Amino acid sequence: MSEYAPKYTFKEGIRLRLLYVLYSMPVILFLWGIFGITKISYWLECSSYGRQVFFYGEFVGMYIFFGCVSLFFWIKNDYPVIKLKQYPLPHKKVLRKIKYKYGWRAVMPVVIKLIICISFFIISIWGYFQATI
């Protein structure tokens, strides 16, 4: 077994990057349409609960959303890394030249990502108490 993970070919790498861009465009447009600050700011002063709803969304909902999305995208690849204690996973292609890591060196980035996800949820709990006006 080689000490480096197998790489995508140049064509596969370009294709994969283009697919990432194509998949992210509808998500960005959707979030831009929902969370547009100009749409919220007109309604904010008209409703008696407008400011409270805005602060709950800003300090609670946004961090729960970020935590759930990051867990959704990271857990699929990171759980097998914790289980096998190897990164990159066997027979998984990578975009750039990466040496295989074993043991705690493979698990440490996964633990850091998990701490980031948990911190989003902790910040949302803190934000719940900050948003009460």
What's the whole-model pTM score?
Answer: 0.72
Residues 100, 5 contacting (CB under 8 angstroms): yes
Question: Does residue 4 lie in a domain region?
Answer: no
Local structure of residue 6 (DSSP, 8 states): P
pLDDT by residue for the chain (133 residues), tens digit each? 678 999 999 999 999 999 999 999 988 887 777 666 666 666 666 666 777 777 788 888 889 989 998 999 888 889 999 999 999 988 889 999 999 999 999 999 999 999 999 999 999 999 888 877 5
Residue 92 vs residues 4, 72, 103: alpha-carbon distances, Å = 11, 19, 18
Question: Does residue 3 lie in a domain region?
Answer: no
Residue with tokens 């919220």: 40
Question: Does residue 114 lie in a domain region?
Answer: yes
Question: Does residue 62 lie in a domain region?
Answer: yes
Give the range of the structural domain holding residue 81, as residue numbers without chain letter.
10-131
